[in-house]
Structure 1
Amino acid sequence: MDLDHAREVAVEAAEAAGALLLEGARGAVGVRAKGTAGDVVTDLDLASEKLLLERILTAYPSHSVIAEESGLVGAAGAEWTWLVDPLDGTNNVAIGLPAYAVGVALCRDGRPVLGVVRDPVSARTWSAIRGRGAVASPGGRLSPSYAPSPHGPLLAWIQGYGVTRGDATARAMKEALDLHARRVLQLWAPLLAWAMLARGDIDGIVSYRAEAVDLPAGALLAREAGIEIRALDGGPFEECFDAPAESRSFVAAHPRALPGLFDLLP
């Protein structure tokens, strides 16, 4: 498998989808409810996903794809599986907030080997190949430094759509972070949070039961930039898309910042 070529395919597809989203978000956006937990889907999600599926499956017809709206396309359990988040930040777009991204990951036996994140608003793309680092375009290699603040860390909070308002664990974690962190961002677009962490714009991410489709691309990008990710108990964390929701909770930060973040949690 030529991962350099796969990255070219993924970057071109994500940037084309991003251009579609950017143009579509300037006009009226068709929005409808998705599920019973308050989530929504837009016409832009569907159009972006169609474009991404066509690009990826034309280049790799024997691969499987798991897409946010279409689900599994191709055979389950394939060696090579693409994950597609056509519009990460749908709820933002629905209210006119220009904070969203496109995410694409390629996984081998469930484990991400390639991740691409495109921010159409800033016209920036970030990508990573496992073991070969992370890069920004425009820009260069990503390698955030450790720069602690005396006022506490700047963090992002990510939670899955299945987490209810009454979840005691999520509530306790968020209350602790709000009390001790300088600021806790809830972007409604996890891929943007991952890109910010990989660039060094924020100090860490704390997540509870993250969604499976967007997690591998963002986590791989951050890891390849030098970020460390640990499960909530401090043990190892693997960003596999087929892991159960209860194991998709973690803390991510520069290795030197990680102990301090664990100290903040209940």
Structure 2
Amino acid sequence: MTITDHELAIAAARAGAEVVRSRYGTALARFDKGPGDFATVADIEAERAIVAVLRAARPDDTVVGEESGRTGSAGNGREWLVDPLCGTLNYAARSMLVAVNVALRSGPETTVPEITAAASADPFSGEVFWTDGIRARVRHDGVDAELRPSADSWLVDVNLDPPFPNDPAFRAVRLLADRGFAERFRPRVVSSTLAVAWVAAGRRAGYVTDGHLRDSVHFASGIALCRAAGCVVTDLRGQPLHTGRGGLVVAADEETHAALLALVGNQFRSDADASA
């Protein structure tokens, strides 16, 4: 029997998560990728495990891995985006705030491809957040539960990892110092896209980051989860993703999203201020 795309995404994410979990706390060789950025042997091995699962089931699909780049042909319009260990710095410092992300982007050549299946695995809780592009669920111990966004926690994560394409006009760190932000929400900083899945699951009220997120192996899965769960998802100016300023504001509901947009908007400087 042929495995469905969302079940394949789950299986691949689980394969990567098993490597990440088994390597945790061990001596990890590091491979420099740029200033302040590196991969570990766990990233490399987790990506290999994920790609092996995908290749076995879908040999004709393209795979874009954070560590290995693009492999395979794009002729069938199906492309897997693989982030084997989101939160490498956390992981290397023996923090368990990490995620394993797998997303399928597909569609006819005449349309803009959409994420039609995705999974984000938490290697340490054993949870896998998944979507088939319509449903949004979390699987734990073989049981699926519906993802239900909620703003009740008031918790909002702000990503402070570079790059910052809107700097100096906008810097996410200034949002944390905004008195109105602290009065309306409870700020958090979690440098892993696991926090995006938490918005879909109702464990966070919102999430804010700068950055160019089109084709992002890091964010594709979490964004797809949030959309399928019914979250409000826009760029930093409230425009559709990938059309304006860039960045991401995702919120559990319209009211929370409006409040976050207002606070984000307060941080944008005028051109004169930005050049001062």
Instruction: Normalising by structure 1, report the TM-score.
Output: 0.85
Residue in 1 that maps onto 2:271: none
**Equivalent in 186, 191, 194 of residue 188 of structure 1:** 191
8 Å contact from structure 2 (residues 90, 96) kept in 1:
yes
Query: Which aligned pairs between 1:155-194 and structure 2 lie closer than 5 A?
Result: 155-158=156-159, 161-163=162-164, 167-171=167-171, 173-179=172-178, 180-181=181-182, 182-190=185-193, 192-194=194-196
8 Å contact from structure 1 (residues 158, 210) kept in 2:
no
Q: Secondary structure at the match of 1:175?
A: helix
State the shift of 1:232 in Å. Answer: 2.0
Corresponding residue pairs, total: 249
Residue in 2 that maps onto 1:140: 145
Query: Which aligned pairs between 1:1-266 and structure 2 lie closer than 5 A?
Result: 5-36=4-35, 38-76=36-74, 78-109=76-107, 110-131=113-134, 133-138=135-140, 139-147=144-152, 153-158=154-159, 161-163=162-164, 167-171=167-171, 173-179=172-178, 180-181=181-182, 182-190=185-193, 192-211=194-213, 212-237=216-241, 248-253=246-251, 254-265=253-264, 266=266
Partner Cα distance (1:221, 1:116) in 2: 8
Q: Secondary structure at the match of 2:147?
A: coil
- Matching residue's letter, 2:16: A
Residue in 1 that maps onto 2:110: none
Q: Which runs of 5+ in 2 are unaligned?
A: 108-112, 267-276
Would the alpha carbon gap of residues 48 and 257 (structure 1) be closer, same or farther in structure 2, given more than 3 Å must change? Answer: same
8 Å contact from structure 1 (residues 178, 184) kept in 2:
no
- The C-alpha deviation readout for 1:137-163, integer Å capped at 9, x for no partner, is 12501112343x7xxx42112366433
Extract structure 1 runs of 4+ deviating beyond 4 A. none
State the shift of 1:250 in Å. Answer: 2.2
8 Å contact from structure 1 (residues 158, 206) kept in 2:
yes
Q: Which has the larger radius of gyration?
A: 2
Would the alpha carbon gap of residues 85 and 9 (structure 1) be closer, same or farther in structure 2, given more than 3 Å must change? Answer: same
Partner Cα distance (1:48, 1:112) in 2: 22
Q: Secondary structure at the match of 1:168?
A: coil
- Matching residue's letter, 1:215: F
- Matching residue's letter, 2:136: A
Q: What is the root-mean-square deviation of aligned Cα atoms in Å?
A: 2.3
Once the two structures are aligned, what percentage of the paired residues are identical? Answer: 29
Q: Which runs of 5+ in 1 are unaligned?
A: 238-242
State the shift of 1:236 in Å. Answer: 2.0
Q: Secondary structure at the match of 1:13?
A: helix
- The C-alpha deviation readout for 1:212-242, integer Å capped at 9, x for no partner, is 11211100101111101012222222xxxxx
- Matching residue's letter, 1:40: F
Would the alpha carbon gap of residues 224 and 83 (structure 1) be closer, same or farther in structure 2, given more than 3 Å must change? Answer: same
Partner Cα distance (1:186, 1:108) in 2: 32
- The C-alpha deviation readout for 1:3-45, integer Å capped at 9, x for no partner, is x711222211211221111111132111232113x11100000
Would the alpha carbon gap of residues 65 and 160 (structure 1) be closer, same or farther in structure 2, given more than 3 Å must change? Answer: farther
Partner Cα distance (2:245, 2:60) in 1: 30
Partner Cα distance (1:159, 1:67) in 2: 23
Instruction: Normalising by structure 2, report the TM-score.
Output: 0.82
State the shift of 1:76 in Å. Answer: 4.6
Q: Secondary structure at the match of 1:257?
A: helix
Partner Cα distance (2:104, 2:245) in 1: 20
Would the alpha carbon gap of residues 177 and 263 (structure 1) be closer, same or farther in structure 2, given more than 3 Å must change? Answer: farther
Partner Cα distance (1:12, 1:235) in 2: 34
8 Å contact from structure 2 (residues 84, 101) kept in 1:
yes
